[in-house]
Amino acid sequence: MISTLACASTFPRTRFVKSDMEQEHESTFFNLGDNTALVCVDHQQYQKIVVPQLIDMTYKVHLGLFAEDVLLKLKTYNYSVVVIYENFKGSTLETNPILQEITNRSGAQRREYFVILLSHRYATNDAMSAFVHSVDLIVNIADLANFGPVLRRGVAEHRQLYQAFQEMLKSVHAL
C-alpha cells in the first residue's frame, strides 16, 4: 500500500522509514512554517522525478492518488505548493477535478497555494498559458529534471509579486 506521505521504499532520499500505521499518523500533521506540497501526479515515473526534488528543497510531501483524496486534503491542509498533472486519472485540462476545485475557490483561498501544472502541451514558464489555466507555473514534462530550480525561481517571483499586495491586505485588515 502506498502511503499518502512519500515513503522511503518509494523515494530513497526520504527519511521516513516506519510502518504504514505510523506513516499515516505522521502524515496528518505539519508544523507551523513547514514547506508543504501536495503532489497530484498519478504517473509513477513523473512522481519519482518530482517528489525527491521537493524533498531536497525541504518540502513535506503528500501524494494525492485519487481525486476524492486530493479534494479532501485541499480542504484539510494549507499547502505551500500544489503540483497537478494535466492528465491526472485520465482527465484533460478541461475536466481535471483538481484544477476545477482550485479555480473555483475564492481569490483569498487560491492565493494560499503556489499551483504548478505539469504539461505535455505547454512550454515550461509559459506565463500566458499559466494565466489562462489559473495556475502559477507550468512545467513541461520534458523539463522535469529541472523541476527544483524552476520551482525555486517561480516561488521567488511569486513572493516578490505578492509581497506588496499581502502587506496592503494586512494594513487594511488592521483598520
The full DSSP string for 129-159 is HHHHTT-SEEEEGGGGGGHHHHHHHHHHHHH
Structure confidence by residue, pLDDT tens digits, 99-122: 999 888 877 777 778 999 999 999
CA-based end-to-end distance of the chain:
51
CATH class of the 20-174 domain in this structure: alpha beta
Structure confidence by residue, pLDDT tens digits, 116-173: 999 999 999 999 999 999 999 999 999 999 999 999 999 999 888 878 887 888 888 7
- All three cell numbers of 33, joined, read 512554517
Is there a contact between 81 and 37 (Cβ–Cβ < 8 Å)?
yes
Alpha-carbon distance 83 to 52, whole Å? Answer: 13
Under 8 Å CB-to-CB from 34, ≥6 apart: which residues?
Answer: 60
Q: Which amino acid is at 53?
A: Q
Is there a contact between 147 and 50 (Cβ–Cβ < 8 Å)?
yes
Q: Residue 37 is inside which H or E element, if any?
A: strand 35-40
Residue 83 vs residue 173, higher pLDDT? 83
Alpha-carbon distance 32 to 50, whole Å? Answer: 23
Give the three-class secondary structure for 77: coil
Domain limits, the chain? 20-174
Q: Quote the pTM value.
A: 0.79
- All three cell numbers of 59, joined, read 518540502
Structure confidence by residue, pLDDT tens digits, 3-57: 444 443 344 443 333 334 334 333 446 677 789 999 999 999 999 999 999 999 9
**Per-residue pLDDT for 79 more than 50?**
yes
Q: Which amino acid is at 141?
A: I
